[in-house]
Amino acid sequence: MPDSQRGRDDLARWWASRPTNYYDATPNLARVLALRAGAERLRTMEPRLRDFGHAVAAVIEPAVATLERHREQPAHVAYDAIGRPIEAVEFHPAYRRAGQAVWASGMLAAPHDSRGAFELVGLFYLLSHVGEGGHACPVVCTAGLSRAVERRGSADLQALFMPRLRERDYDNCYRGSQFLTEVQGGSDVGANTARAVPAAGQLGAWRISGEKWFCSVADADLFAVTARPDGAPAGTRGLGCFLVPRSVDGVTPNGYRIRRLKDKLGTRVLASAEVDFDGALAWPIGPVDDGFRVAVEELLNTSRWLNAVGSTGIMRRAYLEASSFARHRSAFGRVVGSFPIVREHLAVMKAEEQAALASTVVVTALRAGLDDAGADAERAGADGAAVFRFLVNANKYLTSISATDVARRGIEVLGGNGTIEDFSPLPRLYRDAMVFESWEGTHNVLCAQVHRDCVRLGLLDEVLPWIRAELSSAGEGAGADGRTVAAAVEALEPRLRRSLADGEHAAAHFRRQLDRLMRAVQAACLLAEAAVEAADTGKAAAASLFVRRHLVPGHDPEDDADWRRLVDEALAGDAG
């Protein structure tokens, strides 16, 4: 057989070997959910996770690939055929096909409590195997808005909007979006200039005017918009959070105009626009003078939590593509995946993804606990509130950086083919991961937020004991790795405290320290998982690799007699 034919046959076998169900392809997801949500809860949601794992492979991935391959980006249609303003966004039919499968999974029907939190995470992790895919951002925005309306909205708002925010039928649902960012700043939301004035003759309603600069899901049915009531204080304190329906009569745009859709590096299938509001009718979500708190606690915290889930799903898909390719591709008469340097590279990808899933499911458990404790749990200082507040920001920061790194590593394993758009989803995953890094808070801004929270609320006093407790839940089995993590936390503590006590300059050091502390968090979570898993899952080896890479000062694999064994064991578990 000529070499060219052999090469093509290898690629054909690789394609044929790709998973037909992403839930079944990742037994680790079930193990982590069983540990953190409980075996019984996993049992009840597992059929839906499995069905959706198949839908992602069979329906959503081909639809998204079609959209990306043909550059089928959404188009802004300002007027209908006879010149009436409609401000519509048109998509290729494949977009709707994917959306129908996403909404049919029930991920937006999940209740805002511990039952719903874990199910949403499982389903969203699977969805993110296609990258953002045009629907991940709408899911996140809708979940956040639905949560805000349910927990903070008036009875009228709830009656009007909740049923369709929870709808499973894509063609009948309300999709949400959230517009905070303005042209003068995204990080500095307190600089918002959009205005809100009471609507004449409509009790409880307001009118919103001003520009919003980054408006993803511009085609949504309901927009959550931050705006400042006339006379309200400057800064974030003076912001209200309003619900603006796309149309009040079902046809005419509700006082807004789309300037243009943005042409983006990633998340290209998603419609992100610049939008001008001019007297749009709106209703406050919660008290008008509490708008920023509503935006942060309900919308942004949901987005940051789910952003981390999405980053983790991207990592897993990148690993699946790279590891299966490496098993099928040959070079210099050897299977690529047999070269030690490739094996190390894959083991690192796998450990990073498992660490990201570990910390993100823990964030989910914390949030679930708070939700079960009641709407005011955070303000009442319920158990876990401080740790959740810390981790929801710090975990988004770190997982989004890891996702880009892991997607880039995946492209490297595929060589030149890794850069080709229709060869694998990796170019798309890489681009989307880059966007995940900046939206919902840039790295510096999230680190600054964590720094501020630690200074103001003493979060470190809750977080450090929590890490130590997580480590001790791993028990004796964590062995030397457990001691290494404990020592790293010990060494970091005085440096963190110095950064909190010193001025602005020290905040720059805090980002590096936070990196390390989050690695300790992830390592502790991984070790706790490994403690209850069978040896052949490879989790203990993945945890050990992770600890050595990130937390052993001056670690050099060359001097590490266990390194090669750990790589092999980490790769042996969970084949994929």
Ligand X SMILES: Cc1cc2nc3c(=O)[nH]c(=O)nc-3n(C[C@H](O)[C@H](O)[C@H](O)COP(=O)(O)OP(=O)(O)OC[C@H]3O[C@@H](n4cnc5c(N)ncnc54)[C@H](O)[C@@H]3O)c2cc1C
Binding ligand X (rule: CB under 6 A), the pick from 128, 146, 216, 254 is 216
Site for ligand X in 187-206 (CB under 6 A): 187-188
Site string for ligand X, 316-335 (x = CB under 6 A): --------------------
243 contributes a contact to ligand X by CB under 6 A: no
d(CA 85, CA 194): 22
Whichever of 283 and 397 has its CB closer to ligand X, that residue is: 397
DSSP state of 300: I
100 contributes a contact to ligand X by CB under 6 A: no
445 contributes a contact to ligand X by CB under 6 A: yes
For residues 282, 291, 271, 209, the Cα torsion angle rounded to the nearest 10 degrees is 50
448 contributes a contact to ligand X by CB under 6 A: yes
Stretch that binds ligand X, among 9-17, 154-162, 393-401, 440-448 (CB under 6 A): 440-448
Q: Give the per-residue SS3 of 240-274.
A: EEEEEECECCCCCECCEEEEEECCCCCCCCCCEEE
Stretch that binds ligand X, among 108-116, 213-221, 252-260, 318-326 (CB under 6 A): 213-221
Max CA pair span of the chain: 82
Residues in contact with ligand X, counted by CB under 6 A, come to a total of 23
d(CA 45, CA 139): 19
Whichever of 118 and 390 has its CB closer to ligand X, that residue is: 390
395 contributes a contact to ligand X by CB under 6 A: no
Binding ligand X (rule: CB under 6 A), the pick from 89, 108, 215, 454 is 215
Whichever of 241 and 492 has its CB closer to ligand X, that residue is: 241
The minimum distance between CB 218 and ligand X, in angstroms, equals 8
Residue 450: which residues within 8 A CB-CB, separation 6 or more?
A: 390, 393, 394, 397, 459, 510, 514
The minimum distance between CB 39 and ligand X, in angstroms, equals 38
The H or E element that residue 331 is part of is: strand 330-331
Whichever of 177 and 236 has its CB closer to ligand X, that residue is: 177
338 contributes a contact to ligand X by CB under 6 A: no
Whichever of 445 and 532 has its CB closer to ligand X, that residue is: 445
For residues 552, 553, 559, 564, the Cα torsion angle rounded to the nearest 10 degrees is 30
Closest listed residue to residue 30, CA positions, set 46, 44, 18, 19? 46
Residue of minimal Cβ distance to ligand X: 186
Site for ligand X in 267-306 (CB under 6 A): 267, 272
Token pair, residue 492, equals: 């970091």
d(CA 39, CA 554): 40
Whichever of 508 and 575 has its CB closer to ligand X, that residue is: 508
The minimum distance between CB 177 and ligand X, in angstroms, equals 6
DSSP state of 359: H
The minimum distance between CB 304 and ligand X, in angstroms, equals 11
510 contributes a contact to ligand X by CB under 6 A: no
Q: What is the CA radius of gyration of the chain?
A: 24
Q: Alpha carbon of 297 to those of 148, 294, 371, 561: distances in Å?
A: 9, 5, 12, 47
Stretch that binds ligand X, among 308-316, 437-445, 526-534, 567-575 (CB under 6 A): 437-445
The minimum distance between CB 253 and ligand X, in angstroms, equals 18
435 contributes a contact to ligand X by CB under 6 A: yes
Binding ligand X (rule: CB under 6 A), the pick from 20, 44, 193, 444 is 444
89 contributes a contact to ligand X by CB under 6 A: no
How many Cα atoms are found within 13 Å in the side-chain-facing hemisphere of 121? 34
Whichever of 110 and 218 has its CB closer to ligand X, that residue is: 218
Degrees, nearest 5: CA angle 58-61-65: 130
Residue 428: which residues within 8 A CB-CB, separation 6 or more?
A: 64, 68, 131, 266, 421
Site for ligand X in 124-183 (CB under 6 A): 177-181
Dump the DSSP string for 143-208. Answer: HHHHHHHHHHS-HHHHHHHHHHHS-S-TTTPPPEEEE--BTTBSS-GGG---EEEEPTTSTT-EEE
The minimum distance between CB 295 and ligand X, in angstroms, equals 9
d(CA 46, CA 488): 37
**Site for ligand X, rule CB under 6 A:** 177-181, 185-188, 214-216, 264, 267, 272, 435, 438-439, 441-442, 444-445, 448
